[in-house]
Structure 1
Amino acid sequence: MKALLDFIPLIAFFIAARTHGILAAAGALLVATLIIYAIHFVRQKGKFDKQQWVVLLLTIVFCGGTLILRDDIYLRWKSPIINGIFALTLLVSVAINKPLMQLAMKDVFSLSMSGWKKLTVAWAAFFALMGILHYITAFTMTDEAWINFKTYGWIPIMLVFVIAQFIVLKKHINPALTDKTAK
């Protein structure tokens, strides 16, 4: 349900960009994000995880900057910066021997510390790639290409990555998880 709700701001952005332009899309993205995060806040009993705080704060800053200064350059920087922050955070977690993917997926996979580090680095590389792709589409392509990629163009790339991850890691699925699904 959470993931489905998180698509609503993207849909609002896409519709507003197509019908009213980039500045209206920034407003729609900001308002929709605030509404969805209010729903998350209530459903999560008044708490956000760190990723949610990063996304919320950067959305406010970049959409707010776009609207106040009436310049879409700020909105164009949002996705490359968010993806860069996620990539850097994951790499730092590996460097300090606390791979974040272990915290996020310990109930799904049973891996050695080396495996968790490799998985975390793979996700860092994925976020770095997404940041680069968002940058390229935002600053070297047409507005239409950027809007399309920002809204839904990244989804097939993520699906391929996640499916490949599960294919590679299927033999490491946590036995407790498979026992629950068998019942």
Structure 2
Amino acid sequence: MKFLIDFFPIFLFFAAFKVWGIYTATAVAIVATVLQIAYLRWHHGKVEPMQWLSLGVIVVFGGATLLAHSETFIKWKPTVLYWLMGSALVLGQLIWRKNLIRTLMQAQMTLPEPVWLRLNWSWAGFFATMGLLNLWVAYTFDTDTWVNFKLFGGMGLMLVFVIAQGLYLSRHIQDTPSTHKDTHNAQP
């Protein structure tokens, strides 16, 4: 369900673009993101900082697209969002000495410190690469191809990356004391 909520604005943007074009799709994405945030706030009582950031970026870049009547701004939106997320991971690690990936995921798994560090850097690299890839598609291909890439390419690459991360992490996940069985005192 969270997946559908997270990608709700992208799905609506895609559908609106196919029917009405880039400017209507941009307006739909802005409204959908506002509704997404309102839903999360109402149902969960809080909204994650990255979701607030996403709202701000879509309002600014989507608004600029509509005001200037230039699709360039909306094409920059994914890159700006990817680079802001990647920058947060890098700055968190280098300046504040805080691994934000660990902060987000440590309740779900226990990993050795070097693995947390590699995970943080790999996500930062992934976001940087996705930002560059978005710009390449936006400036090399037509808008229809860019919209298709935004939905299918972006989500597909994210899925492949998450699966690769899962395979890597499966070798390093450590048992926590509450899940570790005591085999020394087991009775036959």
8 A Cα contact 2:112 2:172, kept in partner: no
Greater per-residue helix proportion = 1
Task: Give the 3 Å change call, closer, same or farther, for CA 24–115 of structure 1 in structure 2.
Answer: same
Structure 1: stretches of 5+ with no match in the other structure: none
8 A Cα contact 1:2 1:40, kept in partner: no
Structure 2: stretches of 5+ with no match in the other structure: 181-188
8 A Cα contact 2:110 2:176, kept in partner: no
Amino acid across the alignment from 2:58: T
Amino acid across the alignment from 1:116: W
After TM superposition, the structure 1 = structure 2 runs for residues 102-181 of structure 1, keeping only pairs within 5 Å, are: 102-176=102-176, 179=179
Mapped partners of 1:33, 1:175: distance in 2? 38
Mapped partners of 1:173, 1:108: distance in 2? 10
8 A Cα contact 1:23 1:67, kept in partner: yes
Q: What per-residue deviation string (whole Å, max 9, x for no partner) do you get for residues 117-142 of structure 1?
A: 11100000111111111111112211
Deviates more, 1:26-35 or 1:151-160: 151-160
8 A Cα contact 1:13 1:151, kept in partner: no
**2:63 alignment partner in structure 1:** 64
CA RMSD of superposed structures (Å)? 1.9
1:109: how far off? 2.7
1:172: how far off? 2.9
- Which 4+ runs in 1 deviate beyond 6 A? none
1:106: how far off? 0.5
* Larger Cα-atom Rg: 2
TM-score, normalised with respect to structure 2? 0.88
Count, aligned residues: 179
Say whether 1:3 aligns with 2:3: yes
Task: Give the 3 Å change call, closer, same or farther, for CA 109–140 of structure 1 in structure 2.
Answer: same
Mapped partners of 1:154, 1:169: distance in 2? 22
Provide the secondary structure at the position in 1 that maps to 2:171: helix
Q: What per-residue deviation string (whole Å, max 9, x for no partner) do you get for residues 128-180 of structure 1?
A: 11111111111221111101011221122111111111111113335349949
State, as a whole percentage, how many aligned pairs show the same letter.
34
